[in-house]
Amino acid sequence: MIRAAKQSLLIAAKDLRIESRSRQTISLVVVLGILIVTVLGLGLGGQRPDGPAATAVLWVAYLFSGVLCFEKTMAVERQDGALAGLLLAPLDRGVIYLGKLLSNVVLMFAVAGVITPVGILFFGFDLSKAPLGFLAIMGMSMLGFAAVGTLFAAMVSSSRLQGGLLAMVVFPITLPLVIASTQLTSRLYQGDETWNGSAFAVLVAFDAIFLVVSWLAFEWVIEP
């Protein structure tokens, strides 16, 4: 158990070290996120959207940049046959999944840490009312999103599919997350103090189900 945790930390650390030295993914994804927020701002005609629209703007930016993160962390393994080396290492495939998941979550948080302030700046979103609630909801959504995304990124990369396909696979599956977190945040920011228990339960259930399923299914989809 502890050994597995150490091994997956090792894999995540490796990925993040590569990333911190090349800054390949993060620069790309951050720029993409800012672009998306800009396009949406212009598309909304310069209006300042309120509660639900604000989460919609952020969600679109998170989803697209997240998918790019997942694609890139798997693409790193494509170079120089690194994946074959990783698969040959005396590791459980589940450990590889957890490591990749961890580096994806860290990357996504880093990207969200840039996109969210940009959204606040451009649209004047007021998150100060419940910053911890917002952080908790988005954190849990991103965990679930990354759980599915990591699995399908491995699948898409092993199958040599055309780019852009990952978004198509991941989006329909993550729709429950979008609904649940949008309902939660709009409740949070529209003065309604009651906690939407069933929306929160959907978030928790999504995270739990897809963490386990993706962890189990990973070994079927990963292939050099």
Partner 1 sequence: MPQQNNGLLRAFWAVTLLALAAAVAVLIAYTPDEATMGPVQKIFYLHLPLAINTFLACLLVFVASIGYLWQRSVWWDDLAVAGAKVAVLLCSGVLITGMIWGKSAWGLWWTWSPRLTFSLMLWLLYVVYLTVRASVESGQRRAVVGAVYGITAFLDVPLVWLSARLMPDIHPSSITLSGEMKLTLALWFLPVTLMTFGLIIARFRLNRIIRDTTDETQRGFEPVNLHVSEGIA
Using rule CB under 8 A, residue 219 touches partner 1: no
At closest approach, how far in Å is the CB of 199 from partner 1? 5
d(CA 117, CA 101): 24
Using rule CB under 8 A, residue 30 touches partner 1: no
Q: Which of 26, 36, 63, 169 binds partner 1 (CB under 8 A)?
A: 169
The token pair at 10 is: 């090792």
The token pair at 217 is: 């299914």
Q: Which of 11, 36, 138, 148 binds partner 1 (CB under 8 A)?
A: 148
Q: How big is the site for partner 1, counted in residues (CB under 8 A)?
A: 35
Using rule CB under 8 A, residue 60 touches partner 1: no
Q: What are phi and psi of 66, to 5 degrees?
A: -60, -45
Comparing CA positions, the residue from 165, 156, 137, 154 lying closest to residue 62 is: 137
Nearest residue (CB) to partner 1, 57 versus 211: 211
Q: Are 77 and 104 in contact (CB under 8 A)?
A: no
Q: Which of 159, 190, 192, 195 binds partner 1 (CB under 8 A)?
A: 159
DSSP 143: H
Using rule CB under 8 A, residue 221 touches partner 1: yes
At closest approach, how far in Å is the CB of 128 from partner 1? 25
**Sequence-separated (6 or more) residues with CB below 8 Å from residue 25:** 19, 68, 69, 72, 73, 107
**Sequence-separated (6 or more) residues with CB below 8 Å from residue 219:** 93, 94
Side-chain half-sphere CA neighbours of 14 within 13 A: 18
Residues 173-212 that bind partner 1 (CB under 8 A): 173, 175-177, 179-180, 183, 196, 198-199, 201-202, 205-206, 209-210
At closest approach, how far in Å is the CB of 223 from partner 1? 8
Nearest residue (CB) to partner 1, 62 versus 111: 62
Using rule CB under 8 A, residue 213 touches partner 1: yes
Q: What is the DSSP string of 146-193?
A: HHHHHHHHHHHHHTTPPTTHHHHHHHHHHHHHHHHHHHHHHHHHTT--
Using rule CB under 8 A, residue 158 touches partner 1: yes
Nearest residue (CB) to partner 1, 124 versus 164: 164
Where does this chain bind partner 1 (CB under 8 A)? 148, 151-152, 155, 158-162, 165, 168-169, 172-173, 175-177, 179-180, 183, 196, 198-199, 201-202, 205-206, 209-210, 213-214, 217, 220-221, 223
